[in-house]
């Protein structure tokens, strides 16, 4: 799957495992945490409000936050790897508990 930063990637038959929506919440004061299942997001969010977003909308939101915090953007494919596996996606290996 290829795309430009401003263009939503087109789904192909090999993308059947890619979620169409994700649930996420703001965490660490700077980053977002996304899960493919709303229940997982609710269990992890504690007191944070959980939002359900289209996957590409979540990707744009994540990169906007990274930009605002001075971190480099990630690709859509990298973002998909972060869904459900957020700790390895924290910029520069920053500890989320700072």
| 2 domain residue, yes or no | no
Average per-residue pLDDT in the chain? 79
- String of DSSP letters for 28-51: TTTEEEEESSHHHHHHHHTTSPPE
Which residues form the domain of 36? 19-93
pTM: 0.74
| 7 domain residue, yes or no | no
| 87 domain residue, yes or no | yes
Comparing 52 with 11, the larger pLDDT belongs to 52
Can you tell me the mean pLDDT for 27-53? 88
Per the structure, the count of domains in the chain is 1
| 5 domain residue, yes or no | no
| 73 domain residue, yes or no | yes
| 13 domain residue, yes or no | no
| 52 domain residue, yes or no | yes
* Strand ranges (E), the chain: 21-27, 31-35, 51-54
Res 13: pLDDT? 45
Report whether 96 contacts 27 (CB < 8 A): yes
pLDDT digits (tens, 9 = 90+) for 47-94: 899 999 999 999 999 999 888 888 888 999 999 999 998 766 777 655
Q: Tokens 């859509």 — which residue?
A: 76
């Amino acid at each position: 799957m290829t795309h430009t930063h401003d263009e939503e990637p087109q789904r192909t038959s090999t993308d059947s495992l890619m979620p169409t929506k994700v649930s996420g919440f703001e965490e660490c004061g700077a980053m977002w945490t996304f899960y493919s299942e709303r229940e997982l997001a609710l269990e992890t969010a504690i007191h944070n409000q959980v939002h359900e977003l289209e996957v590409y909308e979540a990707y744009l939101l994540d990169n906007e936050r990274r930009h605002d915090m001075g971190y480099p953007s990630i690709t859509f494919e990298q973002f998909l790897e972060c869904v459900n596996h957020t700790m390895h996606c924290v910029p520069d290996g920053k500890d989320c508990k700072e």
